Amino acid sequence: MTPVLELADVALRYRGSAGNVVEDVSLAVEAGHSLALVGESGAGKTTLLRLLLGLARPTSGRVRFDGSDLSLRDREQMRRFRRSVQCVFQDPYSSLDPRRRVGATVAEPLRSLGIDTRATAGPKVAAALERVGMPADAADRYPHEFSGGQRQRIAIARATVCTPRVLLADEPVSALDVTTRVKVVDLLAELKQEQGLTLVMVSHDLSVVASLCERTAVLERGRVVEQGDTGQVLGRPAHPYTRRLIESVPRLPA
């Protein structure tokens, strides 16, 4: 089966920087197999995410979407790509425009991708908000009226309103309280199941990764040091860095 998204020998170097931020990265996102990108700051997680989102062009190597090279200039392909791949961000306070009503925010992908007009977007927006467990009147309110966890739900509603196949999530729960975190993890698991969403999640939190992703790739300083089945990577880590990450997770006393 052709992977939905694929990075092949990708490297990226930012203008003016000494070396590559990511190097020699090959990853495949297959439909139905959620993938976690695990690593600490400076590992290049965010850069990989930008590449997967079509926001950055690799210095070398290829980004493939449905088997064909992703070209940021090809409007037709980009439209299909944007519709298929959506994103949820880490900071729910930065990811919602404070001056827009929630309804307009959630409708943005529908309108920008030319799927719906303002008039026809309404029911879909309401459905998306309901799916993430937000009250019906949320659409008419502004982001500052909601808590961090609710905002993250709104962001998830925006990302899923155009029924994408892949949802990229950049540390989607790390800014949230523990009790809220569990609820949002549950929501993502539910969407995976019910909508058939494939999740690509960047995270440093191994327990969240273990809760949501079938496959895991561990990144250290811009390179993939280990990847495979999550159970295998976390259960029998082959790389010393992976072992250190697992040992570092603070545990509750038994």
Residues that bind other proteins (CB under 8 A): 15, 40-41, 53-55, 78-79, 82-83, 85-87, 89-91, 93-100, 105, 108-109, 112-113, 144-145, 147-148, 155, 158-159, 162, 177-182, 185, 204-208, 210-211, 230-232, 234-235, 244-253
Residue labelled with tokens 């975190």: 181
Nearer to other proteins by Cβ, of 25 and 208: the residue is: 208
Q: Least Å distance between CB 188 and other proteins?
A: 12
Give just the sign of the alpha carbon dihedral 233, 169, 224, 44: negative
Q: Least Å distance between CB 6 and other proteins?
A: 18
Nearer to other proteins by Cβ, of 9 and 114: the residue is: 114
Instruction: Evaluate whether 218 touches 245 at the Cβ level (below 8 Å).
Output: yes
Nearer to other proteins by Cβ, of 9 and 19: the residue is: 19
Q: Least Å distance between CB 234 and other proteins?
A: 4
CB atoms within 10 A of CB 140: 10
Residue labelled with tokens 């009147």: 137
CA distance 225 to 241: 8
Containing 154, the helix (H) or strand (E) segment is: helix 148-160
CA distance 108 to 99: 14
Nearer to other proteins by Cβ, of 9 and 93: the residue is: 93
